Structure 1
Amino acid sequence: MSLPELTETTSPDRVEQPGSRGEHFLQCALETSDRATRFYSDQVLDHLNPVMAAFVGRMEMAFISTADADGECDSSLRAGAAGFLRVVDSRTLVYPEYRGNGVMASLGNIMENPHVGMLMVDFTEDLIGLHVNGGARIAAVEEFPEFADLEERKVERWVVVTVEEAYIHCRKHIPRMVPVDRVREWGTDDVRRKGGDFFEVKARKRAQVDA
Structure 2
Amino acid sequence: MPTLSDHEILTELDDRMQMFIRRQEMMFVATGEPHDGHDCTFVTGGPGFVRILGVNRLAWPEFDDVSLSDAIADIRRDPRISLLFVDFARGAIGLHVDGKAKVLDDDAMRRAYRALNLDPSLDLVADRRPMRWITVYVEEAFLSAAGELV
Quickly name the TM-score band, shorter chain normalised.
0.7 to 0.9
Answering whether residue 22 of structure 2 is matched by residue 47 of structure 1, we say no
- The answer as to 2:94 corresponding to 1:129 is yes
Once superposed, what is the RMSD of the aligned Cα atoms?
2.3
Q: How far off is 1:144 after superposition?
A: 3.6
Q: Match for 2:118: what amino acid?
A: F
Q: Which has the larger radius of gyration?
A: 1
Aligned with residue 71 of structure 2, among 70, 92, 106: 106
Instruction: Decide whether the 8 Å contact of 1:69 with 1:109 is kept in 2.
Output: no
Report the Cα offset of residue 143 of structure 1: 3.2
Give the fraction of aligned pairs with identical amino acids, expressed as a percent.
Answer: 28
Distance in 2 separating the partners of 1:66 and 1:170:
23
Query: Using the alignment, how far apart are the partners of 1:58 and 1:170 within structure 2?
Result: 17
After superposition, give the CA deviation of every residue in 1:118-152 in whole Å (9 maximum; x if it has no partner).
00000112420100000000011123443243324
2:20 aligned counterpart, secondary structure: helix
Residue type matched to 1:46 in 2? T
Cα displacement string for residues 6-40 of structure 1 (whole angstroms, at most 9, x for unaligned residues): xxxxxxxxxx957xxxxxxxxxxxxxxxxx4x63x
Give, in angstroms, the shift of residue 64 of structure 1: 0.3
Structure 2 gaps of 5+ residues are 111-116
Identify which of 44, 47, 58 aligns with 1:82: 47
Partners of 1:118 and 1:103 in 2: CA distance: 13
Higher helix share: 1
- Counterpart for residue 170 of structure 1: 145
Q: 2:123 aligns with which of 122, 127, 151?
A: 151
Post-superposition offset of 1:99: 3.3
1:117 & 1:102 partners in 2: Cα distance? 16
Structure with the largest fraction of strand: 2
TM-score by length of 1: 0.59
Q: Does 1:63 align with 2:32?
A: no
- The one-letter code of the counterpart of 2:132 is R
Runs of 4+ in 1 over 3 A off after TM superposition: none
Distance 1:52 1:136 in 2: 19
- In the alignment, the residues of structure 2 paired with residue 117 and residue 101 of structure 1 have an alpha-carbon distance, to the nearest angstrom, of 19
CA distance in 1, matches of 2:109, 2:123: 11
What letter corresponds to residue 133 of structure 1 in structure 2? D
Bigger relative contact order, structure 1 or 2 (CA pairs below 8 A, ≥6 apart): 2
Take 1:65 and 1:128, find their aligned partners in 2: how far apart are those partners?
Answer: 18
TM-score, length-scaled by structure 2: 0.81
* Partner amino acid, structure 1, of 2:26: M
**Residue 6 of structure 1 corresponds to which residue in structure 2?**
none
Q: Point out where structure 1 has 5 or more consecutive residues left out of the alignment.
A: 1-15, 19-35, 172-211
How many residues align? The count is: 137
